[in-house]
Amino acid sequence: MRSAVKDVMSTHVIAVRPNASYKEMAVMMHDQRVSAFPVVDDSGKVIGVVSETDLLTKEALEGTVPSTLQAMAGQQVRTQVTGVTAAELMTRPVITIGPDEPVSHAARLMFNFRVKRLPVVSPDGTLIGIVTRSDLLSVYRRTDGDIAQQVNEDLRDGTGQPGPSQFTVTVKNGIVTIEGTPQTAGSGQDIVGAIRHMEGVVAVRDRLSYPAGAAG
């Protein structure tokens, strides 16, 4: 089974309220060794995120000539430069994810939006955890032996598919190599595709001998 966000997220989340001050957040980031805080309202719903980048924007651009700042920055950056609270400094809208979403979805969101973490929220938007890039990579801790066992079990259970004795499966450093002759080209492609999406698989080396003229 593929891991969900709830399987890898941290439930110990350091969040701040909208009225948290710049100095308070800077000190907390240093002391708590984190690089961002979700900002939550009085009901615990996520309304933004304050990151080191947001704080450094103020540090870097404060004092810039107003006309120059107007030309070089968008409204959000201009607000951050003059801001002193989380509500003024935070980035929004915030990208969040639900606990039951697959880890692969979280990875795509982080890549597409260039973020290092995602607040995890309940259906009503309440903060329940946080997932980071390193959390997502934890799925690759799975051993080669566990992966090989799952591949062979899936081959055995596949309806109408050859059993594991008709294939040779080896796994090294998360890379699966499969050899053998599937019943059809289509069934072989399905097998390789299923392995590629298994938890902890880095890559698949397809060494199958596809039947000549077999239809998928």
Q: What is the pLDDT of residues 160-205, one digit of tens each?
A: 455 556 899 999 999 999 999 998 889 999 999 999 989 899 999 9
Structure tokens at 94: 């915030």
Assess whether 126 and 171 both reside in one domain: no
Total domains present in the chain: 2
Distance CA 90, CA 103 (A): 26
Amino acid at 93: P
Kindly report the pTM of this predicted structure. 0.72
Assess whether 118 and 131 both reside in one domain: yes
Cα separations (Å) of 52 from 16, 34, 60, 66, 126?
14, 9, 12, 23, 23
Taking 3-state DSSP, the helix, strand and coil percentages for the chain, each rounded to the nearest 5, stand at: 45, 25, 35
Assess whether 15 and 122 both reside in one domain: yes
Instruction: Residue 200: give the domain boundaries.
Output: 142-208
Look up tokens 């059993």; give the residue: 163
By the 8 A CB rule, do 207 and 179 touch?
A: yes
Assess whether 75 and 164 both reside in one domain: no
Distance CA 165, CA 169 (A): 10
Nearest to residue 196, comparing CAs of 184, 205, 187? Answer: 205
Which of 119, 138, 157 is the last residue in one of the domains? 138
> What is the per-residue pLDDT for 14?
94
SS3 37: strand
Assess whether 55 and 78 both reside in one domain: yes
Assess whether 129 and 201 both reside in one domain: no
Assess whether 13 and 102 both reside in one domain: yes
Distance CA 172, CA 90 (A): 44
Distance CA 107, CA 116 (A): 10
Burial of 215 (0-12, 13-18, 19+ CB in 10 A): exposed
User: Can you give the CATH number for the domain in which 15 is found?
Assistant: 3.10.580.10
Which of 85, 116, 138 is the last residue in one of the domains? 138
Please list the ranges in the chain whose pLDDT falls under 70: 1, 58-81, 157-165, 213-216
